[in-house]
A and B are shown apart, each in its own frame.
Chain A
Amino acid sequence: DADVTQTPRNRITKTGKRIMLECSQTKGHDRMYWYRQDPGLGLRLIYYSFDVKDINKGEISDGYSVSRQAQAKFSLSLESAIPNQTALYFCATSEGQGRTDTQYFGPGTRLTVL
C-alpha cells in the first residue's frame, strides 16, 4: 500500500461548490503539506502543518482552508471553488526529526473547476 494517499484522484466540480481533498499517510510523519501544481509554475505551497495543533499558511493560501484531524490526516478545502483553482494538488509528508526532512509526495489529485 502507498505511504501517502490522496482522495479523490480526480474531481470535476462547478464554480461556487465546496470541495474537500483528503490526504492520509502511514509513514508516521509529523509534518504534512499541501501544494498545487500549475503548468509552467512548478509547485507552490498552500498550507503546512508541523503537528496536529500547528497549521501555517503557505505562499498561496487565499481561497483555501485546511484541517489536521490527526497526525495521519490532513484535509484541504476549497470553500467556494473558482476556475483558477483548477490544478494538480499534492499532499506531502516529512519526518521533521533530526536533519532528515525529505518530503514524500502523494499521487496527486487533479481538480477541475468549471
Chain B
Amino acid sequence: AQKVTQAQTEISVVEKEDVTLDCVYETRDTTYYLFWYKQPPSGELVFLIRRNSFDEQNEISGRYSWNFQKSTSSFNFTITASQVVDSAVYFCALTLPRTGANSKLTFGKGITLSVRP
C-alpha cells in the first residue's frame, strides 16, 4: 500500500523567508504520480503540481520550486520569499497509474504554514 508522510505539522515563518515543506512517500510501484495541493483558509483545495516518477527534473514556478529525489523517496516543496498569502495547509499526495482501484489519491496529513508579516 502507498503511504505519504509529512512529518512537519506546523511551520511559522516571517514574510520574505524561504521555507521548505517536506514530503516522503512509500510505494512498491515503479510508476507513480506525486502531487502538491494548497488549502487556504477559505477551505478549497487548489492543485499546484503533478510530477511523474519517471521525470526527476526539478520544477520552478515563480516563487515555488519542487525537488523530486527518487533515491530518498522525497518530493519537497520550497517557497522562496514567502508572503502572507502563502499561509495555508499544504498537502502532498501520491497516486498510481489509473488502473482500477489504484487511481485514488493517498494524501499526507498536511503541513500548516503560517507566514507572519
Contacts and interface: CB of A to CB of B under 8 A. Distances in A.
A42 B43 contact: no
A102 interface: yes
Interface in B37-87: 37, 43-47, 50, 52
B43 A40 contact: no
Contacts, number: 57
Interface residues of A, number: 27
B44 A105 contact: yes
Given A101-B98, A102-B50, A45 B105 contact: yes
A42 B104 contact: no
Interface stretch (A17-25, A75-83, A88-96): A88-96
Contact of A94 (B37, B52, B103, B109): B103
Judged by DSSP, the binding face of A is strand
B107 A42 contact: yes
Q: Which of A42, A44, A108 has the most CB of B within 10 A?
A: A42
B25 interface: no
Interface of B: 9, 33, 35, 37, 43-47, 50, 52, 91, 95, 97-98, 101, 103-105, 107-110
